[in-house]
Structure 1
Amino acid sequence: MPQVTVTIDGKQYRMACDEGQEQHLIGLASRFDRYVSHLKESFGEIGDSRLTVMAGIMIMDEMAELQNRVQRLEEEVEASREERDHALRRNTQEDAAVGDALVVLAERMEHLAQRLGSSA
């Protein structure tokens, strides 16, 4: 199993990951380090544990916002699908009604043509 070394708040950590995930893990650690650095700049030296907890809570807050956004988008997609399906059913019904009307009209025209042909 591959291992990478990541740096968070100036400290190095050796971590294992799945094959091919090395760069992904390094990128995640780098993003997390930015959160910790931001908090450290905002609050100063408040302890590694507190910085880590605060960074974790910030990330969870962002994740919750993104999950809510995804849920709203999924609901919008579902509503759009339902509208589309309703429109398709309505169009199918309208097409059937138009088809029925055309059949009736064709029958009437044939009947009129027969009447005109027999009277001539």
Structure 2
Amino acid sequence: MAKADITLRGRNYSIACAPGQESRIVALAGQLDARLQHIASAVGDIGEDRLLLISALALLDELDAARRTARPSPEMERKMAEALGAASDRIEALAARIESGG
């Protein structure tokens, strides 16, 4: 197991991670630290636990909103189904040609 050394609000942490993921963890920690600094400047001194709680809730809210907007519309689902159907038909036709020898 590899480890990434990160800093959040001036405190250093060593985080276990999968090998090769160290730079990703450090980059994510940098984004989290910036978020923590921004929220801390907006709400003042509320303690580290509450600050982390607010940050986690804000990130989960953003993730939920992104998931909702990422869902395809019914029209897009219809188009995707048509495209998959057409691709399936072409694959079956090619397989039939190959099986018949030409």
Task: Give the structure-1-normalised TM-score.
Answer: 0.63
Specify every segment of 5 or more residues in structure 1 that has no aligned partner in the other structure, as ranges. 89-120
Q: Name 1:18's counterpart in structure 2.
A: 18
Q: Name 1:50's counterpart in structure 2.
A: 50
Supply the distance in 2 between the matched residues of 1:12 and 1:76 (Cα, whole angstroms): 49
Q: Name 2:61's counterpart in structure 1.
A: 61
Q: Name 2:4's counterpart in structure 1.
A: 4
CA 1:16 to 1:70, structure 2 compared with 1: closer, same or farther past 3 Å? same
Supply the distance in 1 between the matched residues of 2:41 and 2:65 (Cα, whole angstroms): 24
Instruction: Report matched runs for 1:81-120 at 5 Å.
Output: 81-82=80-81
Task: Give the structure-2-normalised TM-score.
Answer: 0.74
Q: What is the number of residues matched between the two proteins?
A: 86
Q: Name 1:118's counterpart in structure 2.
A: none
Secondary structure in structure 2 of the residue aligned to 1:45? coil
Secondary structure in structure 1 of the residue aligned to 2:36? helix
Secondary structure in structure 2 of the residue aligned to 1:20? coil
CA 1:84 to 1:25, structure 2 compared with 1: closer, same or farther past 3 Å? closer
Supply the distance in 1 between the matched residues of 2:8 and 2:23 (Cα, whole angstroms): 15
Deviation at 1:58? 0.5
Identity among equivalent pairs (%): 27
CA 1:79 to 1:17, structure 2 compared with 1: closer, same or farther past 3 Å? same
Q: Name 1:114's counterpart in structure 2.
A: none
CA deviations on 1:19-60 (whole Å, 9 max, x unpaired) are 100011111111111111111110111100000000000000
Deviation at 1:14? 0.6
Supply the distance in 1 between the matched residues of 2:73 and 2:18 (Cα, whole angstroms): 31
Letter in 1 for 2:55: A
Specify every segment of 5 or more residues in structure 2 that has no aligned partner in the other structure, as ranges. 87-102
Decide which structure has the larger Cα Rg and report it.
1
